[in-house]
Copies of this chain bind each other. A is one copy, B any other.
Amino acid sequence: MPRYVYRFGAGEADGNAGQKGLLGGKGANLAEMTALGIPVPPGFTITTEVCALAVDGETDLRTLLGSQVDAALERIAELSESAFGDRNNPLLVSVRSGAPVSMPGMMDTVLNLGLNDETVQGLAEQTGDGRFAYDCYRRFVAMYGEVVMGVRAETDGDESPFAVLLSDKKSEVGVTDDSDLSADDLRSLVTAFKIEILKRVEQPFPEDPMAQLWGAVRSVFGSWQNKRAVFYRRMHGIDSKVGTAVNIQTMVFGNMGGDCATGVAFTRNPATGHSGFFGEFLLNAQGEDVVAGVRTPENIAKLGECMPEAYEELLTVAERLERHFGDMQDLEFTIQRERLWLLQTRTGKRSGAAMVKVAVDMVAEGYIDERTAIARMDPAKLDEVLHPTIDPESKPPLIAKGLPASPGAAIGRIVFGADEAEAWAARGETVLLVRNDTSPEDIHGMKAATGVLTARGGMTSHAAVVARGMGKPCVTACRALAIDPAKKEMRIDERCFSLGDLITIDGATGEVFAGRAGLVPASIGDEFGTLMGWVDEVRRLKVRTNADSAIDARTAIAFGAEGIGLCRTEHMFFAPERILAIRQMILAQSLESRREAFAQILPMQREDFKDIFRVMQGMPVTVRLLDPPLHEFLPHTDAEIAELAKASGRTTTNVKRMITDLAEVNPMLGHRGCRLAVSWPEVYEVQARALAEAAVASLADGVPVQLEIMIPFVSVPRELEALRPLICDVVDVVLEAAEVELPYLVGTMIELPRACLVAGDIAEHADFFSFGTNDLTQTTYGLSRDDAGRFLPDYLERGLLDDDPFVRLDREGVGALIRVGVEQGRAVKTKLKVGICGEHGGEASSVEFCHREGFDYVSCSPFRVPIARVAAAQAALRGEARSK
């Protein structure tokens, strides 16, 4: 029979930290800690292999595992000198999930399992504390009722039936705190809970501990497939086939009195990366109380005052674990009657800033080498490090302060629920989720929100951990907040804020402001520069930026861009003083009047280009000639139409008719890109002239220029064959007149399937290819980005697609076309320069693809340049590893 159960306890373990795939992260690390001699309550792990069997529902787990589980249970009973179901000396256990990849709070947990009407008395006698025993019992029945028997609130967000009964009981007795309920109160509550279960699911609460155990095991495995877990996996790209393990472990109690505690700690600061022990604890509490944020915990340093010995031991254990695992650890511990027990250790989730600082510090401390530091980066998280923070000079009124749970500034409209957050975000609002505390049910709302603010919780509460994981600013424990979700408002002192009001939070300071704060660029720590130095030594791919203005270009250079891969000229047209000229150009009936109207734009474009050349100082600048369909420039409001009519000497009716005439059924597939220039060559002529004149003027000012002119939306090689000489003629005349020698390239954007398929013929007329993967994805899939919102989320949720192809390059379909394009192109011109300038240029997996396919560069938005640099370095490292 295969081995499905791995035991740990009393310094011996069947498994080890290397078996995360089989035992899950929690199980593997419990085994490892046990073997290291660290105090871990004895227990055992049921492997992830069982998960698939449990989920398909066709295997009877007890038949499969029964004997292995019985044996393991017997051993932990021995070690704890108790027995499962024994009325005098009962063994109580926890049943917890634990997947190979951490999914905190996503799956179910059952604590205090083994209690029933008999064993609860044994527990009371054993501990001499009837109140404690019944408190454990009522928690267990409620937890079991919810998790295993499915007795839950009918609507998400409502209180559970058990919570309602608890509130009722407190009212009845006349107390406000749970801890003021007596043992008798709690006993009658247990009865009420059992009645509620029987009424709701028409099955009694099982008194048999073995039945309890199997019920819990099945449910915890089953929770792998619950909605939250599925959503989380999708969000984090976790394969749903890996499954979870289940850990059954002897209970230890942090809630047995004043000499007990429970807490969570990090070996370094997960928000900033600074060294120093970091964490929180609660005296006389169970672990869930810390994470759920119901009570606001104390700073871990205070533990040294209350229980100096246990605290010292914890510090020693923490340091040992960090050194052993070679990374920042996130620990869960319980102190039962002054004795320390470790319940979990795992690699600590951290903010982007902490990710960089910890890795660089650990290289300095000799824990890891530089390549490991690079490999450890989650490129997407670098984003947060670079984003702006609140400008200290322009802070709006400070209204409250909480804990700085996840750094960064967030400005958004207040919403009070997760669904609300999602709905508002879907219609384009930037929202800030405000809650008393968050729970796993709120994940989708947190994802939709730009930041999170909670009245309760702490630095390690659900809201804090999840927000840090998502890289969203978060402030917790903001006690001044009085939230009324029903009225959809919150009060701070006398001020009232309603649904939709704008506020700002600073997750680095815990400050909350009314209205919109001004922002300044992030101040980036030295560690960032150090890391990027290592990265640049390793990578082969060049990283450019998509920038339409000198400002963007400057930002990108600060982030390490090595050129501009995409400068969209149409964005230069939308400025109010230019748009009217563009519109007149579009409405012009004759070539002459079109050229005239467009000539007004020439000097403006020339100045734009000059500014960009000045910033780029000789780095390559790829300028894409006009791409969007003309109707995008036309006005929609009556006032604008009237203005245009007046300016162009037409009637409004006439202007309206022309707007209607220019409208397209499928603008994505319409009269755009080089098709416009085929109809109206003067458009590209004027742009080419502006570019050439800007280059000449820049050179005269001593500014070096490296110009690459890009023709978009080619589907037929002859388009390029026709347009290239048109552009070169204009540029050459300007250069010759100025007696300037300037080599420049003319290339094309490959963004249509046909362009990939005839890339060889296209390459005859192109000096470079830049893959426009946004449009290429749209056409390859037949999927309009503007319309996909109606069904793409469904596809992802139901696993029809693993990833959003607009975020992560589809290697199978779009990638196959790109491969054909590169091969054909390079077959004609061996040294053809190849790059990418779609959104994918700043996404790690897509950058790796480009590395593998031999691209010369990737280009992405300024803030993603560091991401691309790191991803390029990681791709190079993986490439080396493969070729070894």
Q: Measuring CB to CB, which residues of chain A are less than 8 angstroms from any residue of chain B?
A: 664-671, 675, 678-679, 713, 715-716, 718-719, 722, 751-754, 757-758, 775, 778-784, 786-787, 790-791, 794-795, 798-801, 810, 812-814, 816-817
Q: Are B669 and A668 in contact (CB under 8 A)?
A: yes
- Residue from B715, B780, B791, B810 within 8 A of A781 (CB atoms): B715
From residue A550, how far is it (CB to closest CB) to chain B in Å? 32
The 22 listed contacts between A and B (C-beta, < 8 Å) are A664-B786, A664-B787, A665-B667, A665-B668, A665-B786, A665-B787, A667-B787, A669-B783, A669-B787, A671-B787, A675-B791, A678-B791, A679-B790, A679-B791, A713-B782, A715-B780, A718-B800, A753-B780, A753-B782, A754-B813, A758-B812, A758-B813
From residue A714, how far is it (CB to closest CB) to chain B in Å? 10
User: How far is B776's CA from A752's CA once the two chains are assembled, in angstroms?
Assistant: 12
- Residue from B754, B757, B782 within 8 A of A754 (CB atoms): B782
User: How far is B782's CA from A751's CA once the two chains are assembled, in angstroms?
Assistant: 9
Residues of B within 8 A of A801 (CB): 716, 718
User: How far is B665's CA from A339's CA once the two chains are assembled, in angstroms?
Assistant: 65
Measured CB to CB, the nearest residue on chain B to A719 is B800
Q: Which among A665, A669, A816 has the greatest number of chain B C-beta atoms within 10 A? A: A669
Residues of B within 8 A of A668 (CB): 665-666, 668-669, 782, 784
Measured CB to CB, the nearest residue on chain B to A778 is B669
Residues of B within 8 A of A715 (CB): 780-783, 813
User: How far is B670's CA from A664's CA once the two chains are assembled, in angstroms?
Assistant: 15
Q: Are B665 and A784 in contact (CB under 8 A)?
A: yes
Q: Are A754 and B781 in contact (CB under 8 A)?
A: yes
Q: Are B665 and A800 in contact (CB under 8 A)?
A: no
Measured CB to CB, the nearest residue on chain B to A662 is B790
User: How far is B800's CA from A722's CA once the two chains are assembled, in angstroms?
Assistant: 8
Residues of B within 8 A of A780 (CB): 715, 752-754, 757, 779
Q: Are A678 and B798 in contact (CB under 8 A)?
A: yes
Residues of B within 8 A of A800 (CB): 678, 716, 718-719, 722
Closest 7 CB pairs of A and B: A669-B784, A666-B784, A754-B813, A665-B786, A753-B753, A752-B782, A670-B787
Residues of B within 8 A of A816 (CB): 757
Residues of B within 8 A of A669 (CB): 666, 668-669, 778-779, 781-784, 787
Residues of B within 8 A of A798 (CB): 678, 722
From residue A636, how far is it (CB to closest CB) to chain B in Å? 14
User: How far is B800's CA from A751's CA once the two chains are assembled, in angstroms?
Assistant: 19
User: How far is B754's CA from A757's CA once the two chains are assembled, in angstroms?
Assistant: 13
User: How far is B817's CA from A780's CA once the two chains are assembled, in angstroms?
Assistant: 11
User: How far is B783's CA from A668's CA once the two chains are assembled, in angstroms?
Assistant: 8
Number of this chain's copies in the complex? 2
From residue A717, how far is it (CB to closest CB) to chain B in Å? 9
Residues of B within 8 A of A799 (CB): 718
From residue A464, how far is it (CB to closest CB) to chain B in Å? 36
User: How far is B670's CA from A787's CA once the two chains are assembled, in angstroms?
Assistant: 6
User: How far is B814's CA from A758's CA once the two chains are assembled, in angstroms?
Assistant: 10
Residues of B within 8 A of A813 (CB): 715, 753-754, 757-758
User: How far is B775's CA from A753's CA once the two chains are assembled, in angstroms?
Assistant: 13
User: How far is B669's CA from A722's CA once the two chains are assembled, in angstroms?
Assistant: 30
Residues of B within 8 A of A670 (CB): 784, 787, 790
From residue A234, how far is it (CB to closest CB) to chain B in Å? 14
Measured CB to CB, the nearest residue on chain B to A790 is B671
Q: Which among A667, A668, A779 has the greatest number of chain B C-beta atoms within 10 A? A: A779
User: How far is B790's CA from A800's CA once the two chains are assembled, in angstroms?
Assistant: 37
Measured CB to CB, the nearest residue on chain B to A665 is B786
Q: Which among A667, A752, A799 has the greatest number of chain B C-beta atoms within 10 A? A: A752
Residues of B within 8 A of A716 (CB): 795, 800-801
User: How far is B753's CA from A664's CA once the two chains are assembled, in angstroms?
Assistant: 23
Residues of B within 8 A of A784 (CB): 664-666, 668-670
Q: Told that A678-B794, A716-B801, A757-B812 touch, could you supply 5 new A-B pairs with CB distance under 8 A?
A: A665-B784, A669-B669, A671-B790, A715-B783, A718-B800
Q: Are B781 and A752 in contact (CB under 8 A)?
A: yes
Measured CB to CB, the nearest residue on chain B to A670 is B787
Measured CB to CB, the nearest residue on chain B to A675 is B791
From residue A66, how far is it (CB to closest CB) to chain B in Å? 34
Residues of B within 8 A of A718 (CB): 799-801
Measured CB to CB, the nearest residue on chain B to A661 is B790
Residues of B within 8 A of A671 (CB): 787, 790-791
- Residue from B666, B754, B794, B817 within 8 A of A679 (CB atoms): B794
From residue A315, how far is it (CB to closest CB) to chain B in Å? 51
Residues of B within 8 A of A782 (CB): 668-669, 713, 715, 751-754, 775, 779
From residue A815, how far is it (CB to closest CB) to chain B in Å? 9
User: How far is B716's CA from A753's CA once the two chains are assembled, in angstroms?
Assistant: 17
From residue A684, how far is it (CB to closest CB) to chain B in Å? 15
Residues of B within 8 A of A665 (CB): 667-668, 784, 786-787
Q: Which among A678, A784, A800 has the greatest number of chain B C-beta atoms within 10 A? A: A800
From residue A558, how far is it (CB to closest CB) to chain B in Å? 35
Residues of B within 8 A of A719 (CB): 800
From residue A27, how far is it (CB to closest CB) to chain B in Å? 32
From residue A408, how far is it (CB to closest CB) to chain B in Å? 33
User: How far is B675's CA from A292's CA once the two chains are assembled, in angstroms?
Assistant: 40
From residue A720, how far is it (CB to closest CB) to chain B in Å? 10
Measured CB to CB, the nearest residue on chain B to A664 is B787
User: How far is B817's CA from A380's CA once the two chains are assembled, in angstroms?
Assistant: 34
From residue A610, how far is it (CB to closest CB) to chain B in Å? 33
From residue A748, how far is it (CB to closest CB) to chain B in Å? 13
From residue A662, how far is it (CB to closest CB) to chain B in Å? 9
Question: Given known contacts A669-B778, A669-B784, A782-B775, is B678 in contact with A795 (CB within 8 Å)?
Answer: yes
Residues of B within 8 A of A666 (CB): 666-669, 784, 786-787
From residue A661, how far is it (CB to closest CB) to chain B in Å? 9
Measured CB to CB, the nearest residue on chain B to A775 is B782
From residue A773, how far is it (CB to closest CB) to chain B in Å? 13
Q: Are B791 and A779 in contact (CB under 8 A)?
A: no
User: How far is B799's CA from A718's CA once the two chains are assembled, in angstroms?
Assistant: 8
Residues of B within 8 A of A812 (CB): 754, 757-758
User: How far is B794's CA from A670's CA once the two chains are assembled, in angstroms?
Assistant: 14
Residues of B within 8 A of A775 (CB): 782
From residue A749, how far is it (CB to closest CB) to chain B in Å? 11
User: How far is B790's CA from A667's CA once the two chains are assembled, in angstroms?
Assistant: 12
From residue A816, how far is it (CB to closest CB) to chain B in Å? 5
Residues of B within 8 A of A810 (CB): 754
From residue A239, how far is it (CB to closest CB) to chain B in Å? 15
From residue A248, how far is it (CB to closest CB) to chain B in Å? 36
User: How far is B665's CA from A784's CA once the two chains are assembled, in angstroms?
Assistant: 8
Residues of B within 8 A of A757 (CB): 780, 812-813, 816-817
User: How far is B778's CA from A664's CA once the two chains are assembled, in angstroms?
Assistant: 14
From residue A743, how far is it (CB to closest CB) to chain B in Å? 28
Residues of B within 8 A of A779 (CB): 669, 753, 779-780, 782
Q: Which among A679, A775, A791 has the greatest number of chain B C-beta atoms within 10 A? A: A791
From residue A194, how far is it (CB to closest CB) to chain B in Å? 36
